Chain A
Amino acid sequence: MKDDNHKNCVIHTEELSKIYDEGAVPVKAVNNVHLHIEKGEFTALVGPSGSGKTTLLNLLGGLDTPTSGKVWIHGKDLSTLSKNKLIDFRLHNIGFVFQAYNLIPVLTARENIEFVMLLQKESKKERKDRIEQLLKETGLEDQGDKKPSELSGGQQQRVAVARALASKPQFVLADEPTANLDSKTAGNLLDMMAKLNKDEGMTFIFSTHDQRVIDRARRVITLVDGAISNDEVRDTNKVTT
């Protein structure tokens, strides 16, 4: 670990395993994963259903605790943090985009984005500037005052991405962010994320089944039965569509 702990390493795991021991046979959802993610990556996590993508992302995001092995985020060992400390750690270091239910339904798009910055106790001016910038970057200039229920699925996911970026995290984890979107909308969302990755240097790690989404990734990690079976870094030039 120590040698990896240079300033560009955002995620590092060693012998990371998660075993569910609830049924008759224990399920190794994540099996001995060594992973190293650098700042600025745009990485897809792929694999068949049940291969452990969600479980791995939850471990990387500090939502779940591993059965064995460790996760370091920017050099910080997550196992040393209490549950409540972990929440604050997530607030300041990790952005999340889920498949659905990303937004607070009673708040407008703008307020949803502002929410995490309020939790971070950002100043009013800071919040205002960042919200406008994010709305612009996600192509939602005119949608800021709408509630989630008034937005389309694709727009909702854009707000979720904007919200994930609002806290200026180390990286964004997105578990099947496009699963509820048609493939054209999914492509647009990915293009937007790719642009943010390029312009802001934001690190994205997303899981997906969608080939068109996979095509946009610069690194593709394939999981089979909880273990990494393939880790491919693509030619960056191919990414542009």
Chain B
Amino acid sequence: MLFAIAWKNIWRNKVRSLVVIIAVMLGMWAGAFILAYIYGMIDQRLQDAIGSEVSHLQIHHPEYEKDNDPKYFITNSGEIIHDINNDPAVKDISGRVLAFGMVASPGKSFGGKFIGIDPASEDSVTQLSHNVTEGEYLSPEDKNKVIIGKKLAEKLKVKLRSKIVLTFQDIDGNIVAGAFRIIGIFQSYNSTLEESNLYVNQKDLSQLQNTNDNVHEIAILLKDADNVPLFQEKLTSKYPDLLTQGWKELAPELGFMIDSLDQYMIIFFVIILLALSFGIVNTMLMAVLERVREIGMLMAIGMNKWKLFGMISLETIFMVMIAAPLGLLFAFITIEYLGTNGLDMSGIYKEGYSAFGFKSVIYPQLETRYYFNIMILVAATAVLASIYPAITALRLDPVKAIRKI
């Protein structure tokens, strides 16, 4: 009975209730959508980073990371790569010879990271060939050919087929240099990569550095991303002298972004709901104060405090609990639609997005559990917001209320 009366009471002032309902709907819709947008952006960045930069796991000599000294290569890397590649959990694997040094064109010179790759396996791990927008991708027979980023090429004022000189250290600390001809120019959504990375054939770099065909870095892509921690343990125990790291260690900022999304969600929605609850409490107070006489009459004829409290708080709870699921439903529809079709932000802020390694087409997405968590927060808010107006109704003195008649 209380439910029926509370429900009917909501519609006594249709406009006012609709305003509250629409406000809550909009709040939920906007909140869930923005969350999905952020989530989609982070997830995309994560997938891109894993698929084209960090991979799932990387193996290095434990000392290598400290000062990137080329003498800390992985001994017997060829065998290790072969062994790991035989594991059924592994999708793709690629070894890289690394060097940090200077790249010079006739007029300019900048710092760069030189990466000696096996073109085929590198392409399967990072899809590098897809990024080559001018010229062509490396082939194994190429000798002293290099692929450089578009940004770096512009800074160096070089073009396809220009010659550039790479200078770096060999494993004994001697400065070595090689002249390379640009056969390809790549572009990346991550502009730092475009400015720093240069790709050459493994042999070219290995010979200059004297690493004896050993690599500094092994990047592994697994078939199942969830398998990373387990596989990392496996490799660590199999190669105790080497350092195996998962993507969360390799790119801690990515791991952090994903891990902190839950906190974002809570803070974000608490703020939205707090703002909404002020409006809700205010509206319900008005609804109570308008009905002073009626409430006095109800107390007089025998509606006790619990029932009265129940009736008034149900009115609040109903309004919120109609509005929030509707808002979330709209959010769900929007998110699903844009999650498939993408939301193109390039017109607005393309440079900004790509400077931080994000693509300018965003695919919002939100896991189902977030909808549930939001509903829990909403329900808690509804209950909290319902208390004050209901208590105000209880405080009314039936005699004074009736005297007003």
Contacts and interface: CB of A to CB of B under 8 A. Distances in A.
Interface of A: 54, 58, 61, 63-64, 83-84, 87-88, 90-92, 95-96, 98-102, 104-107, 115-116, 118-120, 163-164, 167
B240 interface: no
Most chain B beta-carbon neighbours within 10 Å: one of A88, A91, A95, A101: A101
B8 interface: yes
Given A61-B300, A63-B300, A63-B398, A104 B294 contact: yes
Contacts of A120: 302
Contacts of A101: 293-294, 297, 405
Nearest to A114: B1
A99 B304 contact: no
Most chain B beta-carbon neighbours within 10 Å: one of A63, A83, A115: A63
B305 interface: yes
A106 B9 contact: yes
Interface in B288-304: 293-294, 297-304
B5 interface: yes
Contact of B299 (A87, A105, A107): A87
A102 B298 CA distance: 9
A106 B307 contact: no
A90 B301 contact: yes
B297 A64 contact: no
Contacts of B304: 84, 87-88, 91
A194 B298 CA distance: 26
Looking at chain B's contact residues, the main secondary structure is helix
Nearest to B306: A84
B345 interface: no
A87 B295 CA distance: 13
Contacts of B12: 105-106
30 contacts: A54-B403, A63-B300, A63-B399, A63-B402, A64-B399, A87-B299, A87-B302, A88-B304, A90-B302, A91-B301, A91-B303, A91-B304, A95-B301, A96-B297, A96-B301, A98-B297, A100-B405, A101-B293, A101-B405, A104-B5, A104-B294, A105-B294, A106-B9, A106-B11, A115-B1, A116-B301, A119-B302, A119-B303, A119-B307, A164-B301
The 10 closest A-B pairs by CB, nearest first: A91-B302, A106-B8, A87-B304, A101-B293, A118-B1, A64-B399, A90-B302, A63-B399, A100-B405, A84-B305
Given A100-B405, A107-B5, A116-B302, 19 more contacts: A54-B403, A63-B300, A83-B305, A87-B299, A87-B303, A88-B302, A91-B303, A98-B297, A98-B402, A98-B405, A102-B297, A104-B294, A106-B5, A106-B11, A116-B301, A119-B302, A119-B303, A119-B307, A164-B301
A163 to B, nearest CB: 7
B303 to A, nearest CB: 6
B301 A163 contact: yes
A101 B9 CA distance: 16
Contacts of B298: 104
B304 to A, nearest CB: 4
Contacts of A116: 301-302
Contacts of B1: 115, 118
Contacts of A99: 405
A167 B300 CA distance: 13
Contact of B399 (A58, A105, A163): A58
Contacts of B301: 90-91, 95-96, 116, 163-164, 167
A107 to B, nearest CB: 7
Nearest to A64: B399
A87 B301 CA distance: 8
B350 to A, nearest CB: 55
Contacts of A96: 297, 300-301
A90 B305 CA distance: 13
B289 to A, nearest CB: 15
A118 B311 CA distance: 14
Nearest to A167: B302
Contacts of B8: 106-107
Nearest to B298: A104
A63 B302 CA distance: 10
A29 B231 CA distance: 88
A106 B5 CA distance: 7
Nearest to B293: A101
B155 to A, nearest CB: 74
Interface in B369-405: 398-399, 402-403, 405
Contacts of A61: 300
Nearest to B398: A63
A95 B303 CA distance: 13
A102 B293 CA distance: 9
Nearest to A101: B293
A199 to B, nearest CB: 23
Contacts of A54: 403
A102 to B, nearest CB: 6
Contacts of A83: 305
Contacts of A58: 399, 402
Contacts of B294: 101, 104-105
A86 to B, nearest CB: 9
Contacts of A118: 1
Contacts of B299: 87
Nearest to A99: B405
Contacts of A100: 405
Most chain A beta-carbon neighbours within 10 Å: one of B298, B301, B302, B306: B301
Nearest to A62: B300
Contacts of A87: 299, 302-305
